[in-house]
Amino acid sequence: MSRLVNAFYWSDFLYELTTEGKYYRRCCDRLRDYSREILLKRKEALKAKDAAKDYTGSFLDILLQMHLEDGSITEAEILDETVTIFAAGYDTTAALTAYCLYLLGNHRDVQVELHDEIDRIFGDDVHRPVTTDDLRSMKYLSCIIKETLRLYPSVPIMGRYIEEDMKIGNQLIPKGTMAMVLIYFLHRHPRFHKNPTSFTPDRFLSDATRPQPYAYMPFFGGPRNCIGQRFAVQEAKIVVTQLMRHFEIHSKLPEEELQLELGIVLRPSQGLEGFDTTATATSYTLYLLGHHPEAQDKVHAEIDAVFADDKQRSVTVEDIKKLKYLDCVIKESLRLYPPVPLVARNIDEDVHIGQRFAQLEEKIMLTHILRNFRVESLVPMEELQLQLEIVLRPLQGIQLRLTPRQRSSHD
């Protein structure tokens, strides 16, 4: 964001001379190198004799098949698409889900109404998978997601090149100008939205109260809007539905105290508990397993004993209970790298209701990863630099190499 507001940084030459520009270039190169490595490995796999058997129908496989069959798309174009999907489809949906849960925790009346909608659809069955028909039936959840995106658009600012000269009022904007649209402020402008700062999902229930076109653009508009918007919303709806079927949400931070960082992805500067913390704990656990192959072998053996060769079966609560050694691994990881390194309490009544859910969430993620991969850590433990904040963060990130497991009788 500093580059957007500093005219001296608009020049690629000047920007890449700065410390920030050099760091940005290293990050871009690392992401591209990683994506290129995956691309080449997958390409070789599809070129092998058993390509038909190996084909999964994933987005990457579809692009590679087009490249191999008629060359209608180049490797460079596939790499660009891969990087775009990686960058645009990860933080954005996670941020949407986190903000949605945060708002539900601050608005009990909305949460009660959502629970009623979920109960009407699922009844007392908390284990039935969520179907596409279920999602279509959840009209009120759709309004909640839309209102969340209005108040906290995952991408708060978007840029577009002006393709022809245009005038706005008396101001001429020449062709070739990069125009920045401040989605965050557009969504909160009193000219376009009644009670713009209030969380009111009901505004999306009828045409009379729904925001007018182009006053609400969480995925932008026109021919270059986000092609993944429907998938992103469905993904968020599934996560929120699954959580709300089992839990009530309580937010400890009032909305007026929430501080935001206006970046490419809109982030809470204080973090949201249950979002950064669990992701950080999972990263540290994978990092430690990558440095201790003997512990990783034991985890793999335990997972194989529970799941055998079935990589597709969903992880159940009963499966989680059987993973005793993985439980020990997570606890030891939390001992060495607690996600929240400093905790303050007024001594009254100390209760933390989220710890069991956080550990279950982490065990499920680790189980899915370790069923399919071996983990290798690329930074020695003695070189890991930590940043002591509300969430304990590694300064240089967690660098891992995931290798598909080649099962044998000894694995």
Q: Residues at the annotated binding site for heme?
A: 226
Helices (H), 200-323: 229-246, 276-291, 293-307, 317-322
Give CA–CA dist 126/348, Å, rounded. 34
Point out the annotated binding site.
226
Of 270, 260, 245, 250, the C-alpha closest to 185 is 260
Residues 245-260 as b/e (b if ≥16 CB within 10 A, e otherwise) read beeebebebeeeebee
Which residues, 6 or more positions from 270, have their beta carbon under 8 angstroms from its beta carbon? 253, 258, 259, 390
Contact (Cβ atoms closer than 8 angstroms) between residue 325 and residue 299:
yes
Q: Which of 341, 330, 322 is nearest to 390 (CA)?
A: 341
Please report where in the chains the tokens 């699922």 appear, as a residue: 122
Q: Report the DSSP beta bridge partners of residue 146.
A: none
Tokens for 377?
A: 């850590």
Q: Please give the DSSP secondary-structure letter assigned to residue 373.
A: E
**Spatial distance between the Cα atoms of 87 and 78, rounded to a whole number of angstroms:** 14
Alpha carbon distance 132, 291 (integer Å): 41
